[in-house]
Amino acid sequence: MAEKITPRSENYSDWYIDIVTQAKLADYSPVRGSMVIRPRGYAIWEKVQSALDTMFKETGHENAYFPLLIPEEFMRREAEHVEGFAPELAVVTHGGGQELDEPLVIRPTSETIIWSMYKKWIQSYRDLPLLINQWANVMRWEKRTRLFLRTSEFLWQEGHTAHATAEEAEEETKTMLNVYKTFAEEYMALPVLTGVKSENEKFAGAIDTYAIEALMQDGKALQAGTSHFLGQNFAKAFDVSFQNKEGKLEHVWASSWGVSTRLIGALIMAHSDDSGLVLPPRLAPTKVAVVPIFRNKTKEQVMAYAEKIFGEIKEEVGGLPKSVILDTDEQNSPGWKFAEYEMLGVPVRVEIGPRDMENNKVMVVRRDTKEKILMDASEAPAKIPRLLEEIQQGLFQKAKAFREENSRTAESYDEFREIFSGDGGKGFVTAAWNGDPAVEDRIKGETKATIRVLPFGNEEEARGKTCIFTGEPAKHMAVFARAY
Amino acid sequence: MAEKITPRSENYSDWYIDIVTQAKLADYSPVRGSMVIRPRGYAIWEKVQSALDTMFKETGHENAYFPLLIPEEFMRREAEHVEGFAPELAVVTHGGGQELDEPLVIRPTSETIIWSMYKKWIQSYRDLPLLINQWANVMRWEKRTRLFLRTSEFLWQEGHTAHATAEEAEEETKTMLNVYKTFAEEYMALPVLTGVKSENEKFAGAIDTYAIEALMQDGKALQAGTSHFLGQNFAKAFDVSFQNKEGKLEHVWASSWGVSTRLIGALIMAHSDDSGLVLPPRLAPTKVAVVPIFRNKTKEQVMAYAEKIFGEIKEEVGGLPKSVILDTDEQNSPGWKFAEYEMLGVPVRVEIGPRDMENNKVMVVRRDTKEKILMDASEAPAKIPRLLEEIQQGLFQKAKAFREENSRTAESYDEFREIFSGDGGKGFVTAAWNGDPAVEDRIKGETKATIRVLPFGNEEEARGKTCIFTGEPAKHMAVFARAY
Ligand SMILES: [Zn+2]
Ligand SMILES: [Zn+2]
C-alpha cells in the first residue's frame, strides 16, 4: 500500500506536497531553492511542451536558443525591468579560474539578451514580424520555495516577438493569450479567466500584461500564463529600429509571453483528491494500466489473456511506449497496485481476474470518479479511448462548476472583507474599483486579496458604478482573489 | 543573390563559419564564449532531439531534470572528475542580492548532482536499473570558441544510469554507443568509427570511455558522441549503495553518455559544399521548396498551378508546417531564390514555370548533386519522398567512400610522420602502439595527431606486431587523426 497522504481538508499545503513527492513528480535538491523534476513529473512537462509547441508552430513561431548568461549591464537598460528583477538575480563572478571583468547574471527572463540580438537581425520592415520562442531554464532567487509552484530555477518557454506596428504587437499578445487559454482548457481541463493585469501586478518592463488565471481547489487563484505587450520599451533600450515602407526609421514594437513548470503545480491542485494525483488524459504519460489478478494456478492463463487485451488497448490508444502499460509485477498485491495507480494518477485502470477471463469481461475503473465499469473484453479496446475523452471533459466540467460556485460579486467593502475573513482561499470576487494602485495595496494589506485580472470589457460594466472601497466613481470591475 | 562564401579549398575554417552565419544557423552573442542558435539551426537540433529521444525511450529510458547549479564541494568528491573540470567552471557567488555561503558552479556535466539524488532514490536491487536522461544546457568556460564546435555554453543530452552489476552497466554503455552510431549513420548520413578511448582521452571520472568518431571533409576527426562506463566511482563518491538479492550492501555501477549541439557542426562539415549547406533529408527542417517562376502576365496561372502541386507534395512528404514550403515572394528573382535554397541546404527544390505548366511538368533539383530531373506533374508528388530517401542514402555512401579514401595504415613512424606532415587534417591512420600514454603524448607533440579510438577487437589484431613508435611489442592497433 502506498504511503498515506494528508487529506485536503486537514492541510491543503501538506496534501499538495505529499502528492508531488509520493507520486514521484519532483524532489527537493541539495541546492537551496532548486528542485529535481523526476521522470513522472518530467513526462507531464513533455506532454505540455509537445501540445504547446505544436500550437506555437501552427501560429507561425520558430524556436531558437539564446545564452544563459547575460551581462549585468543589459539588465539595467530598461528602468522598470531592472527594478523588478534585481533582487532575484544570481550572479556569476568567476569563469575558467579567473575573476570576470564584468559580472554575468543567469537569465531571469531573456528580453535583454534577445533584444540585443534583434538589433543585429532587424533592419527593414521585411525582417518583421520576427516570431521566436525559446524553451529554457531561468533563475529567480527565492528564499521560500514550493515544488513546482515557486523555485529559484524553473523551466519555461518564453516567446519574444518583434513587429512593425503597435497594433500588430498587441494582436500577437492577445493571440498568445488565447493559445494559453485554449491549452489550459482543452489539455489541462482547467477553465481560466482572461484579462489585463493591474499596474501593481504587471510585468517589469511591460505596457500591458495579460494573464490567464485559474482557481485551485482551496479557493486560491493561480496565474497560469502571461502575455505582455512591451510597446517600444526594449527596442528603445537596445536601440532596435527598422526602415518602414516609406523609408523612415522607427523603433520596433514587441511582445513576450510565457508559461512554466508551475503549470504542473496547477494541474495537481486543480484535479487531485485524497487518493493522490488525478491527471487529464491528454496530459497523462500513462493513460491506461492493465492489472492482471491471479493466483499461482491461474497465473499463466490470466497473463496470456491480459497480454492479449493489453495489446488491443495499446493499439487503440496509441502514443509513446508507456502510454498503456501491463503490470507484470508479482511482488505486490492487486490491492496495493490499485492504490498505487490511483496515487500516480493513471486515468483508467483495467482489472483482469480469472472470473473476468471466464466470462470474457474486463473491469474498467475511472480514476476521476472511481466508477467501475464491467465491459465485454471484445468491446473494451474500442471503448477506452472514448472513456478517456469522457474523463477529459468530465474534469473540465467539474472544475468549471467549482469555479462558478466560488465566484461572486461584492457590493460593499464590508461584504468584501467578510468574504475574505479568515484563512485560506475564498474564490474569485468581482468588485467595482476606482483604478487607484494605492487602494489596491491597501486592500491587499487588509485582506490578502489582489486583483487577478481586469476582464476584457470590464470598463464598460463599471460605468456608472461606485468603487466599493472609496465611494468614488468606479473605473473597473476587477476580479480579486488570494493567489499563489 | 546570397553573399559569397569562402571556398573550402581556400580556407576550410572560413568556409565553415560562412555557412553557419549565412545559412543563419547561429550567431555570435555579446557574451564571450556563448552562441545564439538561430531558428534555422535550432530546427535541426529539434530534429536531432526528436530522433534520439525516440531511440532513448525505445531502449527504456525516461527524461528528468536536475538543477543547473551544483555545490562546488560536490565537484571535488571524485578526484579525477574535479581535476578534469575545475579549469572550466563558471562560479555563482551571489544570489538574491547576497553573497552565498558556499559558491555554486554551473553544471559542466551532471554526474555529481545526479548521484547525490540517486543516493535518496536507490536502496534495493528493486530500484535498479535506473535509466534516466536529461536534455539540458551545460557550461564549460572556453577562451577560444567556434560556433557549434566549441562554445562555453552548449546544449546536450546526458544519460545517467545506475545498475546492480558491472556487466549490466558496461552493456548499457555499449548499447548507447550503438544508439549513437545508428543515429549518426541513419539520420546524419555520417559513417562513424567506434571503440574505446585511450587513457589520455577518456572522460574525467570514467573507467572506460567509448566514442563515435567521424571524419570531416578536411580530413580531421570529430568526436560525435561518448558513452562512459563509470564503474563505482560516483557511487563511492556519493555513497550510493543498494541491498542486493542476498541482502548484502553493494555500491551501484554506473554509465553516462552524451551528445551535444556539436553534432550540428559535424553535420555541416560532413556534407556541405561551396554553394552552402547540404543537409540529409531526415534532419532537414524544410525538405522541399516549391518555387514558381512567372512574369506579370503568367503570375496568376502559374501560382495556381504551383499551389496545387505544392499541396500534393506536402500531402506525400508530411511532417511539420515548414517541411514543404511554397515560395510566394515577388521581390527576389528565381535565380536569387535558387542560390538561397542551395545556401540553406533544402534537399529538393521544385521549379515551376509557364512552360512546365503548359507541358504538365515540373523541374525537380537535388541539392546534393545539383542534378535536374524533369518530372510529370502527376508523378512528382509520389516520386519526391523516394528521391529524398535516395539523397539520404547517397550522402551516406559519399561520406563513407570519402572516409575509406582517407583511411590508411602506417607501417613505420617515418611513414606516420610523413602522412601527418604539413597543415590540415590527414584522415584516419591506423598504427601499432605499445599502449604507453607518454608515447601518445609525444606523438601528439610531434604530429598533432591523437588516438581517436582503439577499435573493438584491436588487441587481437595487434598481437605479434611491433609498436611503430618504440619498437616494443604492440598492445593496440590505434586509430590516429588530427581532431576538432
Ligand atoms: Zn533608438
Ligand atoms: Zn560508500
For B66-125, write each residue's pLDDT tens digit.
Answer: 999 999 999 999 888 888 898 999 999 999 999 999 999 999 999 999 999 999 999 999
The answer to whether the CB of A292 falls within 8 A of the CB of A330 is no
Considering the domain architecture, whether residues B251 and B303 belong to the same structural domain is answered as: no
CB contact under 8 A, A29 and B87: no
**Cα separations in angstroms, A83 against A424, A451, B58:** 31, 21, 48
pLDDT band at B476 (very low <50, low <70, confident <90, very high): very high
The answer to whether the CB of B384 falls within 8 A of the CB of B440 is no
Least CB–CB distance from B96: residue in A71, A88, A136: A88
| pLDDT for residue A4 | 84
Least CB–CB distance from A69: residue in B34, B67, B86: B34
| pLDDT for residue B332 | 94
Closest C-alpha among B134, B122, B203 to residue B164: B122
> Does residue A31 sit at the B interface (CB-CB below 8 Å)?
yes
**In chain B, which residues have their Cβ closer than 8 Å to the Cβ of A86?**
97
CB contact under 8 A, B62 and A43: yes
For B334-376, write each residue's pLDDT tens digit.
Answer: 999 999 999 999 999 999 999 999 999 999 999 999 999 999 9
| pLDDT for residue B295 | 87
Whether residue B397 is contained in a domain is answered as: no
**In chain A, which residues have their Cβ closer than 8 Å to the Cβ of B55?**
none
For chain A, the distance separating the N- and C-terminal CA atoms, rounded to the nearest angstrom, is 32
| Coil vs helix vs strand at B277 | coil
**In chain B, which residues have their Cβ closer than 8 Å to the Cβ of A56?**
none
> Does residue B62 sit at the A interface (CB-CB below 8 Å)?
yes
Q: What is the DSSP letter of A95?
A: E
Considering the domain architecture, whether residues A257 and A149 belong to the same structural domain is answered as: yes
| pLDDT for residue A324 | 98
What whole-number distance in Å separates Cα of residue A342 and Cα of residue A335? 11
Q: How far is A474 from chain B (nearest CA, A)?
A: 39
Whether residue B234 is contained in a domain is answered as: yes
The answer to whether the CB of B263 falls within 8 A of the CB of B48 is yes
What part of A 130-189 touches B (C-beta under 8 Å)?
Answer: 132, 136-137, 139, 141-143, 152-153, 155
| pLDDT for residue A32 | 85
Q: Strands A407-409, A428-433: parallel, antiparallel or unpaired by DSSP?
A: parallel
Exposed/middle/buried for residue B428 (C-beta within 10 Å: 0-12, 13-18, 19+): buried
> Does residue B415 sit at the A interface (CB-CB below 8 Å)?
no
Interface test with A, best of B25, B36, B53, B144 (most A CBs within 10 A): B36
| pLDDT for residue B193 | 98
Please give the grid coordinates belonging to residue B398: 559519399
Considering the domain architecture, whether residues B439 and B351 belong to the same structural domain is answered as: no
CATH of residue B338: 3.40.50.800
Q: How far is A428 from chain B (nearest CA, A)?
A: 32
Tens of pLDDT along chain A (484 residues) come to: 456 899 999 999 999 999 999 999 999 999 988 999 999 999 999 999 999 999 999 999 999 999 999 999 999 998 888 888 989 999 999 999 999 999 999 999 999 999 999 999 999 999 999 999 999 999 999 888 899 999 999 999 999 999 999 999 999 999 999 999 999 999 999 999 999 999 999 999 999 999 999 999 999 999 999 999 999 999 999 999 999 999 999 999 999 999 999 999 999 999 999 999 999 999 999 999 999 999 889 999 999 999 999 999 999 999 999 999 999 999 999 999 999 999 999 999 999 999 999 999 999 999 999 999 999 999 999 999 999 999 999 999 999 999 999 999 999 999 999 999 999 999 999 999 999 999 999 999 999 999 999 999 999 999 999 999 999 999 999 999 999 9
CATH of residue B75: 3.30.930.10
Residue B1: pLDDT above 80? Answer: no
Percent of chain B with pLDDT over 90: 94
Nearest residue on chain A to B132, alpha-carbon basis: A39
Please tell me the total number of residues recorded for chain A in this structure. 484
Conformation bin of residue B194: beta by default, left when phi > 0, alpha when psi is -120 to 50: beta
Please give the grid coordinates belonging to residue B400: 563513407
| pLDDT for residue B3 | 65
What whole-number distance in Å separates Cα of residue B212 and Cα of residue B193? 5
Q: How far is A95 from chain B (nearest CA, A)?
A: 4
Residue B2: pLDDT above 70? Answer: no
**φ, ψ for residue B366 (rounded to 5)?**
-80, 135
Considering the domain architecture, whether residues A222 and A292 belong to the same structural domain is answered as: no
CATH of residue B419: 3.30.110.30
Closest C-alpha among A465, A403, A192, A469 to residue A477: A465
Extract long-range pairs of B210-213: CB within 8 Å, 24+ residues apart.
Answer: B210/B173, B210/B174, B210/B177, B211/B177, B211/B452, B211/B453, B212/B177, B212/B180, B212/B181, B212/B184, B213/B428, B213/B452, B213/B453, B213/B479, B213/B481, B213/B483
**In chain B, which residues have their Cβ closer than 8 Å to the Cβ of A147?**
none
CB contact under 8 A, B117 and A93: no
Note down the domain range covering A373: 288-387
Whether residue A392 is contained in a domain is answered as: no
| Coil vs helix vs strand at A162 | strand
Least CB–CB distance from A34: residue in B41, B69, B331: B69
Task: Report the number of secondary-structure helices (H) and strands (E) in chain A.
Answer: 15, 23
Nearest residue on chain A to B69, alpha-carbon basis: A31
Q: What element of type H or E holds B34?
A: none
Considering the domain architecture, whether residues B32 and B76 belong to the same structural domain is answered as: yes
Considering the domain architecture, whether residues A317 and A178 belong to the same structural domain is answered as: no
Please tell me the total number of residues recorded for chain B in this structure. 484
The answer to whether the CB of A322 falls within 8 A of the CB of A40 is no
Whether residue A403 is contained in a domain is answered as: no
Exposed/middle/buried for residue B19 (C-beta within 10 Å: 0-12, 13-18, 19+): buried
**In chain A, which residues have their Cβ closer than 8 Å to the Cβ of B47?**
none
| pLDDT for residue A3 | 66
Considering the domain architecture, whether residues A221 and A350 belong to the same structural domain is answered as: no
Q: Please, what sign has the CA dihedral across residues A442, A443, A446, A451?
A: negative
Amino acid at B370: K
| pLDDT for residue B451 | 98
Nearest residue on chain B to A331, alpha-carbon basis: B126
CB contact under 8 A, A97 and B89: yes
Q: How far is B326 from chain A (nearest CA, A)?
A: 15
Whether residue A401 is contained in a domain is answered as: no
CA atoms within 13 A on the CB side of A25: 31
Least CB–CB distance from B92: residue in A91, A121, A331: A91
Residue B386: other Cβ atoms inside 10 A: 10
Distance A240 CA to ligand 1 centre (A): 6
User: What's the total number of domains in chain A?
Assistant: 3
Q: How far is B160 from chain A (nearest CA, A)?
A: 13
What whole-number distance in Å separates Cα of residue B116 and Cα of residue B119? 5
Domain boundary residue among A222, A241, A271? Answer: A271
What part of B 330-359 touches A (C-beta under 8 Å)?
Answer: 331
| Coil vs helix vs strand at B346 | coil
Nearest residue on chain B to A42, alpha-carbon basis: B64
Q: Strands B428-433, B407-409: parallel, antiparallel or unpaired by DSSP?
A: parallel
Interface test with B, best of A57, A68, A88 (most B CBs within 10 A): A68
**In chain B, which residues have their Cβ closer than 8 Å to the Cβ of A42?**
62-65
Distance A173 CA to ligand 1 centre (A): 23
Which residues are registered as beta bridge partners of A258?
A158, A226
Cβ-based contacts under 8 A for chains A and B: 173
| Coil vs helix vs strand at B310 | helix
- Report, as an integer, the average pLDDT of B449-465: 97
Contacts of A86 (CB under 8 A, 6+ apart): A75, B97
Amino acid at A211: A
CB contact under 8 A, A97 and B74: no
Considering the domain architecture, whether residues A183 and A235 belong to the same structural domain is answered as: yes
pLDDT band at B218 (very low <50, low <70, confident <90, very high): very high
Least CB–CB distance from A141: residue in B57, B96, B320: B96
Whether residue B375 is contained in a domain is answered as: yes
Nearest-ligand number for the alpha carbon of B249? 2
Considering the domain architecture, whether residues B48 and B177 belong to the same structural domain is answered as: yes
Whether residue A23 is contained in a domain is answered as: yes
Mean pLDDT of all residues belonging to chain B: 96
The answer to whether the CB of B286 falls within 8 A of the CB of B322 is yes
Q: How far is A86 from chain B (nearest CA, A)?
A: 8
**In chain B, which residues have their Cβ closer than 8 Å to the Cβ of A139?**
68-69
Whether residue A343 is contained in a domain is answered as: yes
Closest C-alpha among B191, B202, B184 to residue B81: B202
The answer to whether the CB of A29 falls within 8 A of the CB of B110 is no
For B271-310, write each residue's pLDDT tens digit.
Answer: 999 999 999 999 999 999 999 999 889 999 999 999 999 9
> Does residue B29 sit at the A interface (CB-CB below 8 Å)?
yes
Considering the domain architecture, whether residues A110 and A192 belong to the same structural domain is answered as: yes
Considering the domain architecture, whether residues B179 and B302 belong to the same structural domain is answered as: no
Domain boundary residue among B271, B301, B330? Answer: B271
Q: How far is B408 from chain A (nearest CA, A)?
A: 39
Distance A135 CA to ligand 1 centre (A): 29
> Does residue A419 sit at the B interface (CB-CB below 8 Å)?
no
Domain boundary residue among B236, B271, B306? Answer: B271
Considering the domain architecture, whether residues B122 and B197 belong to the same structural domain is answered as: yes
Please give the grid coordinates belonging to residue A322: 508507456
The answer to whether the CB of A282 falls within 8 A of the CB of A290 is no
Q: How far is B55 from chain A (nearest CA, A)?
A: 11
Amino acid at B7: P
DSSP string, B183-232: HHHHTS----EEEEPPGGGS-TT-SEEEEEEEE-TTS-EEEEEEEEEEET
What part of A 246-275 touches B (C-beta under 8 Å)?
Answer: none
pTM flag (> 0.95):
yes
